[in-house]
Amino acid sequence: MDEKAVGFTLEMPKVGIIRGVKAKDIEMVGGKVVNLRTCARPYENIYTVTQLRAIQGVSKKYGSGKVHLSPRHNMEIPEIKNKHIDEALRDLYVAGLFPGGAGTSVRNVFTCPDWCARSVRPVQAIGKMVSTNFGDRDMPNKFTISFAGCPNGCSRPHNTDVGIIAVAKVTIADQGCPDGCRECAKVCPVQAVGPTEGRVKINRPACIACGRCVKACPEKILRSEETGFKVLIGGKEGATVAFGAVIAEFAKDFELLEIIESVLRKYEQKVTPRLAGRKKKERMSEVIERLGIAAFLAD
């Protein structure tokens, strides 16, 4: 592909962009049309109205008027005429959109919306920081990272290479409960909290740290002054499904980058081809299944 369009030089980050343009981010369909996958960089799950208009414009002008939102929140514009690909890329680029989100690399970091009422804490800013540090990094196979704002896990953190779930540390004030109040018990999704003889108790092993009881308590007896992240690794979706193993119960923000960097390195060091002599390498879940989680995490 000619990197120059009329009056415009296509200057894009190297990793996963120019290298990947033809190979993965732009899927050739029969030589005449292409499917173009696009997203913001660093990866974002939020598109501005201006960006959506640019996507609409490209789809209507050069494609078939259709847009597909991928499971990891990339926008796929199908059936763009091959001869218009440079103009399409230019129109997207000026709106802050790049081809991307495919291939053997760290994919779009998937985060919950911060405005969800169930959110334990915002996750978009930290998701963007993780994306800035690791997004597009070349990996032995596809690598996914998801942030959930609470243990509900709408961003599917349990089936992701690295799944990160915001959790609340709930404390109990030294105070009795008013007669008849059961607000905390009503909202707890796992029946782990409620008053007994005028005092609230939490069944800690059963508690999933969602913080809903804190929001419901009218007396502020239940409190959450600290939030952190549960971290799971080795989950996946696809032809086979794997659930991640918990490697941290309450990581702080600054620890996340270190944990992710360490997991990426261990995967790179310990991966092998799926079949001897074949090029295709294992997903991280396969490496963990082969070695066991303890050996995977060992130095």
164 forms part of the interface with ligand SF4 (CB under 6 A): no
Residue 217 in contact with ligand SF4, rule: CB under 6 A: yes
Q: Structure tokens of 180?
A: 């008849």
In order of 24, 43, 63, 126, 163, the CA distances from 146 in angstroms are 21, 12, 31, 11, 5
The answer to whether 82 touches 63, Cβ cutoff 8 Å, is no
Q: Which residues partner with 110 through β-bridges?
A: 146
Window 83-112: contact mask with ligand SF4 (x via CB under 6 A): -----------------------------x
User: In angstroms, rounded to a whole number, what is the distance separating the alpha carbons of residues 45 and 287?
Assistant: 29
Binding test (CB under 6 A) with ligand SF4, winner from 210, 256, 260, 271: 210
User: Is residue 211 within the footprint of ligand SF4 (CB under 6 A)?
Assistant: yes
Residue closer to ligand SF4 (CB basis): 15 or 251:
251
Residue in 37, 41, 72, 212 binding ligand SF4, rule: CB under 6 A: 212
Residue 284 lies near ligand SF4 (rule: CB under 6 A): no
Counts of helices then strands in the chain (DSSP H, E): 9, 14
Q: What does the per-residue mask of binding to ligand SF4 show for 175-204, with x meaning CB under 6 A?
A: --x---xxxx--xx-x-xx-x----x-x--
Residues in binding contact with ligand SF4, number by CB under 6 A? 37
CB–CB of 227/167 below 8 Å? yes
Residue of 154, 248, 251, 297 that binds ligand SF4 (CB under 6 A): 154
The span of 126-134, 219-227, 270-278, 291-299 binding ligand SF4 (CB under 6 A) equals 219-227
Name which of 57 and 153 has its Cβ closer to ligand SF4.
153
Q: How far is the CB of 260 from ligand SF4 (least distance, A)?
A: 19
Question: Which C-beta is closer to ligand SF4: that of 124 or that of 131?
Answer: 124
- Among 167, 185, 141, 78, which residue's Cα sits nearest to residue 273? 141
Q: In the window 113-142, what residues touch ligand SF4 (CB under 6 A)?
A: 116, 118-119
Q: Which residues pair with 201 in a beta bridge?
A: 194
Sequence-ordered list of residues with C-beta below 8 angstroms from that of 167, at least 6 positions apart, any chain: 120, 150, 151, 208, 209, 210, 211, 227, 228, 229, 230, 249, 250
- Interface pick for ligand SF4 out of 58, 77, 97, 209 (rule CB under 6 A): 209
Which residue blocks in 121-252 are alpha helix, DSSP H?
124-134, 183-187, 212-216
Q: What string of H, E and C letters represents the secondary structure of 104-132?
A: CEECCCEECCCCCCCCCCCCHHHHHHHHH
CB of 231: closest distance to ligand SF4 in angstroms?
15
Site string for ligand SF4, 17-56 (x = CB under 6 A): ----------------------------------------
Question: Which residue number, 183 or 282, has a Cβ lying nearer to ligand SF4?
Answer: 183
Tracing tokens 């709106």 back to the chain, one arrives at 95
Cβ atoms of 226 and 251 closer than 8 Å:
no
List interacting residues with ligand SF4 (CB under 6 A). 112, 116, 118-119, 148-150, 152-154, 168, 170, 177, 181-184, 187-188, 190, 192-193, 195, 200, 202, 207-213, 216-217, 219, 221-222
